[in-house]
Amino acid sequence: MIALTAAEIAAATGGVLRPDVDPALVVAGPVVVDSREVEPGGLFVALPGEHVDGHDYAAAAVAAGAVLVLAARDVEGSDGTPLPVVLVPDVERALGDLAREVLVRLRAASLEPGSPGLRVVGITGSVGKTTTKDLLAQLCGSAGPTIAPVRSFNNEIGLPLTVLKADESTRFLVLEMGASGIGHLTYLTDIAPPDVAVVLVVGQAHLGGFGGIEAVARAKSEIVQGLVPDGVAVLNADDLRVMAMAELAPGDVVTFGASAGADVRARDVVVDRTGRARFTLEARDGDGARRAVPVELRLVGEHHVHNALAAATAGLAVGLTLDEVAAGLGAADALSPHRMHVVERPDGVTVVDDSYNANPDSMRAALKALAVLAGRDRRSIAVLGEMLELGDEHREAHDAIGRLVVRLNIGLTLVVGEGARAIRDGANHEGSWGDEVLLADDVEAAAQFLEGELRPGDVVLVKSSYGSGLWQLGDLLTGEVAR
């Protein structure tokens, strides 16, 4: 974080400094919510949680080097001494307020002569946010200092923590913005209004929280309405609900997709036996001339072409050249754990760990990638868990995935957990024989079954929502822990 005094932090958060805290105390270290991540000179944010309360760890944070605590109540050290605190009514809100103030200061500093300038990009969508964020962060990182969230820090806690990592040298701030209800993106864009807002797709994620697909569309459109006055909206030309957001944009609209009318488009897409796509990227370069350049992705799955197009369009919008974008896409890797992470095991088994999250759209994409990877000469195995937050669509959505498994001719499907049972039911209704689709009670039972079942040449996909716990099986099968 940029250096701020205790008085400035109190002013930014609407907080009150305890009388024993020097207002001139400088906080120049990182802002953290985990006492184990404290660095000397930093700020510890004592967030209350479902299972733990950050206030209980304030003493450990100060002992580790934090010089100030953002808290909702007074806290003491192990010896009973009051800790240096800024008292606020709502710690989570105060964290957002602090991030907002820091970004305002950084934007002002970026206007000074000699500054590299600062561009803020916000990315949302029902599918592909994290991968697109990772791709764009790598594109921007080759052009200047870039800050982007780790993993999926895309909510009311993760986003401000990411903003607070930026400083005067930051040229690109790439933010992932998630929403599970109306108003969530309005809150996030109020903290960090983007210069460029990317909307990937309106899909069936979090339907239980939204109440329907049209409500999802309204919620996603909040990122476009939250743009800075002259901001650029980057919209998916292949999604009618996304394209309808163009009328809400305060500035320019740039589109991407397979559609012939898209400003940035992919043509001649080819997927090789490893599941990696190559295509021709067509767009207007900085001089306005329309050009076409070849791109070959290192990511597995044809659906990543869509994510690459979104990242390319955002990259062009923040000033990268078409050649820089093409080269960056070709060199980019999957950075976040449990997302189409492919491991070739010594025993000849290929594991595709995509167990971080799942909704009907991403589940379909992952299964199609599995079918391509296995081809005709290897056995495909899909280990599928529950897709969460689908509301009234839960059973129908899982049933449809089971039917798709049969249509794709997946060799063996292991459905894990009672919540995913409808996948097996759908497969059986579609015409699967009983031994092609099996049900395991839990992750442990699935692991035991696979231990005796896997053989050289098998290609195994592990896919579910994170909350269903299948990521533990992903770690077990790949021999890794979350990166």
Average pLDDT over residues 22-50: 96
456 closest CA partner among 348, 334, 338, 318? 348
Q: Is the pLDDT of residue 351 over 50?
A: yes
| 149 and 205 share one domain | yes
Question: By residue range, what is the domain housing residue 187?
Answer: 94-331
Does 483 fall in a domain?
no
Per-residue pLDDT reduced to its tens digit, 418-427? 999 999 999 9
Which residue bears the tokens 């971080």? 356
* CB neighbour list of residue 465: distance below 8 Å, 6 or more residues apart: 357, 358, 359, 385, 386, 387, 388, 389
| 218 and 83 share one domain | no
- The two tokens of residue 291 are 């050009």
Last residue of a domain, which of 302, 331, 360?
331
Residues in the chain: 483
Average model confidence (pLDDT) across the chain: 93
| 30 and 160 share one domain | no
Does 376 fall in a domain?
yes
Distance CA(132)–CA(15), nearest Å, equals 36
Does 236 fall in a domain?
yes
User: Which CATH number goes with the domain that contains 454?
Assistant: 3.90.190.20
Does 248 fall in a domain?
yes
Distance CA(366)–CA(384), nearest Å, equals 11
Q: Is the pLDDT of residue 168 over 60?
A: yes
| 319 and 355 share one domain | no
Does 336 fall in a domain?
no
Sign of CA dihedral 288, 294, 297, 302: positive
Last residue of a domain, which of 331, 364, 389?
331
User: Which CATH number goes with the domain that contains 64?
Assistant: 3.40.1390.10
In total, how many domains does the chain have?
A: 3
Share of the chain above pLDDT 90, in %: 82
- The two tokens of residue 156 are 């009311």
Distance CA(300)–CA(130), nearest Å, equals 15
Q: Is the pLDDT of residue 480 over 80?
A: no
More confident call, 480 vs 363 = 363
Average pLDDT over residues 238-247: 97
Q: Tell me the pairing of strands 85-87 and 16-17.
A: antiparallel
Q: Is the pLDDT of residue 331 over 50?
A: yes
Per-residue pLDDT reduced to its tens digit, 190-222? 999 999 999 999 986 555 556 688 989 999 999
| 180 and 301 share one domain | yes
Q: Tell me the pairing of strands 4-5 and 26-27.
A: antiparallel
Give the pLDDT band of residue 483 (cuts 50, 70, 90): very low
Question: What is the reported pLDDT for 116?
Answer: 82
Q: Is the pLDDT of residue 152 over 80?
A: no
Instruction: Quote the strand ranges of 134-185, DSSP E.
Output: 146-147, 172-176
| 149 and 285 share one domain | yes
* Strands of the sheet with 437-440, listed across from one edge: 341-344, 350-354, 459-463, 380-384, 412-416, 437-440
| 69 and 141 share one domain | no
Per-residue pLDDT reduced to its tens digit, 257-308? 998 899 999 999 999 988 999 999 999 877 777 899 999 999 999 999 999 9
- The two tokens of residue 447 are 């692991």
Q: Is the pLDDT of residue 47 over 60?
A: yes
More confident call, 434 vs 91 = 91
| 379 and 419 share one domain | yes
Q: Tell me the pairing of strands 264-271 and 253-257.
A: parallel
Distance CA(155)–CA(163), nearest Å, equals 12
Question: What is the reported pLDDT for 262?
Answer: 95
Does 35 fall in a domain?
yes
Distance CA(26)–CA(38), nearest Å, equals 16
Q: Is the pLDDT of residue 431 over 90?
A: no
CB 109 within 8 A of CB 168: yes
Distance CA(228)–CA(221), nearest Å, equals 14
Residue 252 zone, left/alpha/beta (φ > 0; ψ -120 to 50; rest): beta
Q: Quick one: CA torsion of 371, 376, 382, 387, rounded to 10 degrees?
A: 20
Distance CA(136)–CA(172), nearest Å, equals 10
- The two tokens of residue 456 are 């050289």
Count H helices, E strands: the chain? 16, 22
Distance CA(352)–CA(461), nearest Å, equals 5
List for the chain the helix, strand, coil content (%; round to 5): 40, 20, 40
Distance CA(168)–CA(171), nearest Å, equals 8
Cα 25 from chain centroid (whole Å): 35
Phi, psi (5° rounding) for residue 30?
A: -70, 155
- The two tokens of residue 313 are 């369009």
Average pLDDT over residues 6-14: 98
User: Which CATH number goes with the domain that contains 216?
Assistant: 3.40.1190.10
CB 468 within 8 A of CB 385: yes
The amino acid occupying position 261 is G
| 306 and 355 share one domain | no
| 76 and 149 share one domain | no
Last residue of a domain, which of 306, 331, 356?
331
> What is this structure's pTM?
0.88
Question: What is the reported pLDDT for 468?
Answer: 92
* Strands of the sheet with 16-17, listed across from one edge: 16-17, 85-87, 68-71, 43-45, 31-32
Question: What is the reported pLDDT for 95?
Answer: 98
Phi, psi (5° rounding) for residue 78?
A: -65, -20
Q: Is the pLDDT of residue 123 over 50?
A: yes
Q: For the ranges 17-26, 103-112, 211-220, 273-282, which has the lowest average pLDDT?
A: 211-220
Average pLDDT over residues 46-64: 94
Question: What is the reported pLDDT for 208?
Answer: 54
3-state secondary structure of 426: helix
Question: What is the reported pLDDT for 471?
Answer: 94
